[in-house]
Amino acid sequence: MKAYISVDLEGVNGVIHSSQTQPNEPGYLRSLDLMHQETNAVIEGLLEAGCDEILINDSHWDMRNLQHEKLLQHPGVMVRSGWQKPFSMVSGIDKAPDRADFAIFLGYHARAGHEHGVLSHTYRAQIFYEVKLNDLPAGETLLNAALAGYFDVPVALLCGDDTVCKEATDQLGPILTACVKTAVSRYSAIFPSHKETLSLLKAKAKEAASNKKYWQVFKPKTPCKLEISFFDPSMADAAELIPQIKRIGARTIVIEGQDYSQIFRLMLAVGALGASRKDPYF
Ligand SMILES: [Zn+2]
């Protein structure tokens, strides 16, 4: 059995402030340690369930966070590391014929605009003000699950704070979730015991791998419509340079089409274009 894990950082227990997620900031190294421990707990559960191949996609920031020598040593464990890589947080999920049987989203966080999800954002925290997929407010959970679904890979388990767990079951259906902290506000949470959290992750990973009833293939209705509102209208100016992009407001663009994988790529492209217009002073 082959498993795929997309590992982000903001949804890890113990992580609460943006500075903890940035290389060169105090607290980042501690966050990395917690990220490795949570990833190892999930790997342990998957190995116990009989998985023999586990592809881990480092999905945070420059995607060079995980150090493979600090992960549980097993011949079937591989890390997809570094930036830039196609499909970003779900890079490698498209690889046939060795596609994963199911995916796990670990360290995930609520969508941009959630009223109190810890470190809520959608892909580009300072560029994307709000993202909607087929009129549904979308976070990384929905966008990435839709790409996994495009390649017929189900999502089995999502781990993060209580708000992203709810987002996942509301939007994807009855997948398994592991709540590792309770959000109080965007920069505040209640942390449960570290040891208990690791036990929970291991148990949920094992349960997710062992029960296909939790495996949800999510396919958005086609044609798909992805609507992105930027923080700054100049970012929308840059995005609409791409011919397939339709501007529908001062700060809002729409990408429509039958092929979600192309829409996903265009979303990444307008994120990069938008970032090029970020004003450091204004
Ligand atoms: Zn993220």
Mean pLDDT per segment of 10 residues, for the chain of length 282 residues? Answer: 98 97 95 98 98 97 97 97 96 89 98 98 97 98 98 98 98 97 98 98 98 97 97 98 97 98 98 95 91
> For position 208, what pLDDT does the model report?
98
> For position 98, what pLDDT does the model report?
81
C-beta of residue 259 within 8 angstroms of C-beta of residue 275: no
Ranges of beta strands (E only) in the chain are: 2-7, 53-58, 77-80, 102-108, 128-133, 136-137, 155-161, 176-185, 188-190, 224-230, 246-247, 252-257
Triad 95, 64, 30: Cα angle to 5°: 130
Is domain 2-121+140-214 annotated with CATH 3.40.50.10780? yes
CA distance 132 to 89: 18
CATH 3.40.50.10780 placement within the chain: 2-121+140-214
Supply the residues annotated as catalytic. 121
> For position 107, what pLDDT does the model report?
98
> For position 97, what pLDDT does the model report?
76
> For position 261, what pLDDT does the model report?
98
**Distance from residue 40's CA to the centre of ligand 1 (Å):** 19
**Distance from residue 120's CA to the centre of ligand 1 (Å):** 8
The CATH code of domain 224-276 reads 3.30.1360.130
**Distance from residue 195's CA to the centre of ligand 1 (Å):** 24
**Distance from residue 122's CA to the centre of ligand 1 (Å):** 6
> For position 96, what pLDDT does the model report?
76
**Distance from residue 111's CA to the centre of ligand 1 (Å):** 9
CATH 3.30.1360.130 placement within the chain: 224-276
**Distance from residue 73's CA to the centre of ligand 1 (Å):** 26
Sheet (strand 246-247) strand order: 136-137, 128-133, 224-230, 252-257, 246-247
